[in-house]
Structure 1
Amino acid sequence: MTHPDAPETPPRAAGLARWAGLAGAVLLAVAGYVGGALPGATATKVWNSGDGPLTVALWLAGTLLLTGAWWALRRGAPSTRWAYLTAGLWTAPMLVAPPLGSRDVYSYACQGWAYANGVDPYATGVAGAGCPWVDAVAPIWRDTPAPYGPVFVVLAALAATVGGGLTATVVLLRAVATLGVLLAALCLPGLARAAGVPTRRAAWLALASPLVGVHLVAGAHNDAVMLGLLLFGLLVLVRFPGRPRALVVAGVLLGLAVAVKATAVVVLPFAALAAVLGRYTVRALLRDGGWLAGGVLVALLGASLLSGLGLGWVAGLHRSGDTQQWTSPPTAVGMVVDYLGELVGWDRPAVPVARAVALVLLAVLLVLLWCRAWSALRGLNDVRQRVTRLEAARPRVALLGAGLGLTATVVLAPVFHPWYATWPLALLAVAARRTTWFVVPAAVATFLALPDGTNLARLTKAPGAVAMTALVIAVAVWGLPRLRRAGSPSGDAR
């Protein structure tokens, strides 16, 4: 039976999508050279430069072509091989483009330089560290400590040491990010097969997305490294559940992912579900989950001690919320409350309160999602004839739970940047049966940033905050009654 989300794609339509996407990728690369995140362009915004109109036109046309082509085949490419080749074709222009959509790679370079030169990047910003490339860093991040784990700081230091200059360091950091994407690409077919999802659809959604090419490859974001390690660890789990050595290896990989970016910690409770072999009991969870947790701790403690950086990076996480943009739903709600407060003379900021409430809600949602997944798997213990069904359901329930957990994290986080959408996208691509509910937001996210790193949310603060708040209310009214189906092995969030 043909999967409802993966019908056959007419060859002519697939070919048109392939070449339209390639044209879009080329236009984006050209836009990067005309007005992208070049090292000396921090002072002048793209719309104020002489080539501003041309840059925006190229960027908009390229984004429309690339996103439209990806959307056209959202139900599945003609084959897995075709999906990989096309995604690679679209990525090629990104490999030779300047940094696109963000200036974060320059922050990475300076943080790596600081560590390589004996300065603790968790204790001081890159300006205070004396980085020679600080002028390329976005002004808002020049005085903030690094919020990334010790594994990535060490990788950035290696890139800065080997590269010597800024351009070579950026090239090496992009190479590291590309390796992360390649590692994730190698893991996708195994994870999709384990979850019962067509590999040609999973590969297409996770690799051909413009967010991957523009932000993970061209932008060289460390999210690529985190995702590569995360998917590798999960693949080991679904292939070798219940085997102590494999569980420790998987734990080390997942721990390394957390030591790149703390977001990966959300996946760990769901990974423990994938670690269990046989019947789901508390004893089995503690036994197999214990081996997994041991590997995670070994990786985290080893990275912290061997790098000499300790856990200082944890303290830097709170500075990531320094910006206020309506693309984060809780921040948007707080902004609207502040606007209304101004009308009645209320001067106490509501954004911190809204963010705090959202984090509490996130904790509750993660617990509910995990309990729902646990209950679904426990329910398959009761009938002996369901043993085969249990083994088939375990990977998908765990992966879907992890994907939904990352979705909740992205939605309720204090800040949102377009590349954050790649976190849930990678897992939902291999686990979700229905795709529109997460493909639409990912497609919208591709339009939020300009090539020089300017977030369009900054230009539309009030109307954007009002629109996002209205969307939050609509989703809450419509979606909360359906939340009970989120972790079920027989139905997805929609």
Structure 2
Amino acid sequence: MTVTPRVVRWGGLAGSVATAGTAYLGGAGFERVPSVNPGTLLSGQRGVLLPILWVLGTALLVAAWWTGRHVVPSTRWALVTAGLWFLPVLPFLPLGSADVYSYACQGYVQHAGGDPYAGGVGGSGCPWLGSVASSWVDAPAPYGPLFLLLAARVVAVAGDSLAAAVAGLRVVALAGVALLAACLPVLARRCGADPARTTWMVLACPLVLVHLVSGAHNDAVMIGLIVAGLALAAARPATPVLVAAGAVLGLAVGVKATAIVVVPFAVLAALPPTGDRRPLRDLVAPAAAIGAGLLLTMAVLTAVSGRGAGWVAGLLRSGDTVSWGSPSTAVGLAVEAVTGLPAVPVTRLIGVLLLAVVLVALWWRARRGDALDGAGLALAATVLCAPVFHPWYATWPLAVLAATRPENRRLLGLCAFAATLTTPAGYNWALYTRIPGAFAVTAALVVLVAVAARRRRDRRVVA
């Protein structure tokens, strides 16, 4: 059958409807399940209908997204189609994760005058504590002050209604997606890419529908602000606009600190490419303007939230999940399984140190003029080297690299694979297959390193 825009649009919509059916039958409910495992997919009165709809919906969405990148007729068509796909899941329970409930309780603590960074929400008096995943009950909030202010505002409007709080947090996430939709075409044009295809690759990705729209993850706001800030910086404007770009990136950091990795690349993007490495003295003016906007924004957010810099300490608890999704954690799990030694903390530390080296190397290379591509690769490196990987993290590099590398099949394949990693209620298959998956990922890393070393040796021989 010939793939046409019509087939893509309605095939993906069918997948979205099936996915919405799983949200109705078994999404992340208002009450925490004490012991979640894949067996719960087959429990209840609906029997096998839930997993059938989940597999069918995921397959249709991935297939429509993957094949659709070759037939996108216009940016408007991509926006309308993605928006059409979002509609079926909006009235139902969150999919793929129960994090939105921890957002609600953290917002409750902030609204009530408590400190979400001082500890978990367990003793806060939050009326929705029964919905929060056990891993977040005692963990401090790892999010920036901007997101806590937004969550607190949502709670203030929602009152005692958890459904209203979830709906409000979903509106916040949709605002992030809308910002992404507005800025992606601009970023694509800055990179000389097709705006329609770039928009399609990001917004029609199943990860966006399941985790950013349905699951209401705050990553939607962060990546929307990242793309907006990079688009502003890449316009190579006058100093006031660069200050605004820094302020927008500061807002992104105020949602999740991860966004800080793109700031050095935004400084490079503010200068026209020359083909040669830019002298460091050329970077002083744009760095000062962008840095001023970022620091001023963070200072204001910190003052308004009244919580100081406690959110930085909260980042230390964001690595509590232990699974093979993170390569550094996978290697540690494999070593522990063989030797019995506590290797995960060591391999995670090595991963963070490796990330620091990679980020410096990427920035140094980006001084030749590929700053926006460097920003996307920096986000990709952050995802791969971080102690924890969740499926929605793949949207971070996708949001930028779709404009700089629209046919990056490795990234697209990762996103397609990540879309299969969770159940409707949020259980991650990487937890269920922890040790076998750790050995598989470790073996894959060994093969990749060996192949890369062999290619480098071959290039030296040819030279």
For 1:146, the aligned partner's letter is A
Distance apart, 1:237 and its partner CA? 1.1
Distance apart, 1:305 and its partner CA? 1.1
Distance apart, 1:423 and its partner CA? 0.2
Name the counterpart of 2:460. none
Name the counterpart of 1:441. 414
1:238 & 1:473 partners in 2: Cα distance?
38
Is the 8 Å Cα contact of residues 272 and 285 (structure 1) preserved in structure 2? yes
Is the 8 Å Cα contact of residues 457 and 464 (structure 1) preserved in structure 2? yes
Distance apart, 1:475 and its partner CA? 2.2
SS in 2 for 1:321: coil
For 1:312, the aligned partner's letter is G
Is the 8 Å Cα contact of residues 242 and 288 (structure 1) preserved in structure 2? no
Do structure 1's residue 179 and structure 2's residue 175 form an aligned pair?
yes
1:41 & 1:185 partners in 2: Cα distance?
33
Residue from 346, 352, 365 that aligns with 2:358: 365
Q: How does 1:242-281 map to 2 (within 5 A)?
A: 242-276=237-271, 280-281=278-279
2:257 & 2:455 partners in 1: Cα distance?
29
Name the counterpart of 1:233. 229
For 1:109, the aligned partner's letter is A
Deviates more, 1:354-363 or 1:71-80: 71-80
Distance apart, 1:178 and its partner CA? 0.2
> Cα deviation per residue 1:16-61 (whole Å; 9 max; x = unaligned)?
2211111111111110111110102523636333145322221111
Do structure 1's residue 460 and structure 2's residue 433 form an aligned pair?
yes
Do structure 1's residue 32 and structure 2's residue 23 form an aligned pair?
yes
Distance apart, 1:480 and its partner CA? 6.3
Distance apart, 1:198 and its partner CA? 1.0
1:192 & 1:112 partners in 2: Cα distance?
35
Distance apart, 1:144 and its partner CA? 0.5
Is the 8 Å Cα contact of residues 152 and 259 (structure 1) preserved in structure 2? yes
Number of aligned positions between the proteins = 448
Name the counterpart of 2:62. 67
Name the counterpart of 2:449. 476
Cα distance change on mapping 1:262 and 1:238 into 2, 3 Å: same
Do structure 1's residue 134 and structure 2's residue 129 form an aligned pair?
yes
TM-score, normalised with respect to structure 2? 0.93
Residue from 339, 352, 376 that aligns with 2:345: 352
Name the counterpart of 2:77. 82
For structure 1, list consecutive stretches of 5 or more residues without a partner in the other structure.
1-9, 343-347, 378-396, 484-494
Aligned-CA RMSD value: 1.7
Is the 8 Å Cα contact of residues 237 and 274 (structure 1) preserved in structure 2? yes
2:256 & 2:90 partners in 1: Cα distance?
23
Is the 8 Å Cα contact of residues 8 and 65 (structure 2) preserved in structure 1? yes
1:40 & 1:99 partners in 2: Cα distance?
12
Residue from 373, 382, 394 that aligns with 1:421: 394
Distance apart, 1:229 and its partner CA? 1.1
Cα distance change on mapping 1:472 and 1:421 into 2, 3 Å: same
Q: How does 1:153-172 map to 2 (within 5 A)?
A: 153-164=148-159, 165-172=161-168
Name the counterpart of 1:43. 34
SS in 1 for 2:307: coil
SS in 2 for 1:247: helix
Name the counterpart of 1:430. 403
Q: Percent identity?
A: 50
For 1:281, the aligned partner's letter is P
Distance apart, 1:306 and its partner CA? 1.6
Distance apart, 1:79 and its partner CA? 2.1
SS in 2 for 1:127: coil
Residue from 199, 224, 231 that aligns with 2:195: 199
Name the counterpart of 1:381. none
Is the 8 Å Cα contact of residues 47 and 53 (structure 1) preserved in structure 2? no
Name the counterpart of 1:328. 326
For 1:368, the aligned partner's letter is A
Is the 8 Å Cα contact of residues 37 and 452 (structure 1) preserved in structure 2? yes
2:406 & 2:103 partners in 1: Cα distance?
37
For 2:338, the aligned partner's letter is L
Residue from 1, 15, 19 that aligns with 2:6: 15
For structure 2, list consecutive stretches of 5 or more residues without a partner in the other structure.
457-463
Cα distance change on mapping 1:370 and 1:76 into 2, 3 Å: farther
> Cα deviation per residue 1:415-443 (whole Å; 9 max; x = unaligned)?
00000000000000111153212100110
Is the 8 Å Cα contact of residues 421 and 428 (structure 2) preserved in structure 1? yes
Distance apart, 1:331 and its partner CA? 0.5
> Cα deviation per residue 1:138-168 (whole Å; 9 max; x = unaligned)?
1111111100000000000000010111110
